[in-house]
Amino acid sequence: MRHDWIADILAVIDSGSFARAAELRNITQSAFTRRIDAIEAQLGGPLFDRRRRPVALLPAARTLERSLRAAMQVQSGLLQEAAEVASGSGSITLACQHAISATVSPGIVRALSRSGLEPVRIRSGNRDECLVMLLSGAADLVISYAVPDAGPETGGFEERRIGHDRLMPVAHPGLSRRADGRMSVVAYPADVFFGGLVAELWLDLPEGVLLHRRAETALTLAAYRYAIEGLAVAWLPEALVAEDIRVGRLCRVADAGPDLALEIRMIRLAGGGRERARRGWDVILDASAPGSERLP
């Protein structure tokens, strides 16, 4: 059904009057009445009981209202998104690693919204998935973790550091060792970013510390829940667990080795990409600069 038909029908439903609906649709009452007559003719029968005051849908048509409102919302969203794409402004899409979506992204959304870039769409994935979204045009910018001494991504990317974090081993205070003395841990798959980092940290565990892999997940937020529930030690970003450590829901596991410093980096296509990507880049850099509302 056409967008303007749905808008006309809903205007009558919401106002209860053809005259008030015509005002809402910014046309004369006679022109609006002719439009409703034309819609009903196209559909093959009347929709409204014109004898009632306020005017209402006929009983057979009342089941349509929910579907009409849903269709209106979808169509309006599509029209807005198409206009934003055509103009190169408005909404912006960020691809973030899962943990960053839960920790750093709120501050970024706040900064972008204040600058008129909204809605801000957050797409979560592992680091490689985020880069694919950027290359395919599904995302304007990527926000991801990197180790401080890692070089920039190759292949037509530009990146900047916008914050710091630490990867640290944490567990529920009540977690105890297994009967054989092994430490229960959450592992990450080898093909995800944290998987490679944690595997390297495990090579330098204190002498005598042996591990029991109790679970494996690619989702940092799932590993966080396993730690909160007392299932195992999990290596998690400090920004994600700082409040839990402060109130005693989690504690740092002293004999699980050292923390690992992390950088939070913003990545875009070389050349800046679309206009909204260039605007978002500048806004986020300003938000992460010294003296501003810094990101973690």
pLDDT 10s digits, 195-233: 999 999 998 888 888 999 999 999 999 999 999 999 999
Show which of 22, 51, 86 is a domain's final residue.
Answer: 86
* CATH of residue 124: 3.40.190.10
Specify whether 153 is located in the same domain as 276.
yes
Instruction: Answer whether 233's CB lies under 8 Å from 174's CB.
Output: no
Specify whether 157 is located in the same domain as 170.
no
Specify whether 29 is located in the same domain as 106.
no
CB atoms within 10 A of CB 289: 12
In a domain, 37, yes or no: yes
HSE of 60, CA atoms in CB hemisphere, 13 A: 4
Mean pLDDT value of segment 140-144: 95
Specify whether 80 is located in the same domain as 97.
no
**Domain limits for position 213:** 166-261
Specify whether 189 is located in the same domain as 176.
yes
Specify whether 126 is located in the same domain as 40.
no
Show which of 28, 60, 86 is a domain's final residue.
Answer: 86
Specify whether 244 is located in the same domain as 278.
no
Instruction: Answer whether 64's CB lies under 8 Å from 186's CB.
Output: no
Beta strand 120-125 with 92-97 is parallel
Specify whether 213 is located in the same domain as 66.
no
* CATH of residue 74: 1.10.10.10
Specify whether 225 is located in the same domain as 181.
yes
Distance CA 188, CA 217 (A): 5
In a domain, 296, yes or no: no
b/e 106-136 (16+ beta carbons within 10 angstroms → b): ebbbebbeebebebbebebbbbebbbebbee
In a domain, 295, yes or no: no
In a domain, 66, yes or no: yes
pLDDT at 295 over 90: no
Distance CA 234, CA 171 (A): 6
Q: Is the peptide bond before 119 cis (omega within 30 degrees of 0)?
A: yes
Work out the pLDDT band at 61, boundaries 50, 70, 90.
confident
pLDDT reported for residue 75:
78
pLDDT reported for residue 223:
95
pLDDT at 50 over 90: no
* CATH of residue 185: 3.40.190.290
Give per-residue pLDDT as tens, 63-97.
888 888 888 887 776 676 666 555 555 679 999 99
Show which of 61, 86, 111 is a domain's final residue.
Answer: 86
* Number of domains making up the chain: 3
In a domain, 294, yes or no: no
In a domain, 17, yes or no: yes
Specify whether 271 is located in the same domain as 156.
yes
Specify whether 148 is located in the same domain as 269.
yes
pLDDT at 109 over 90: yes
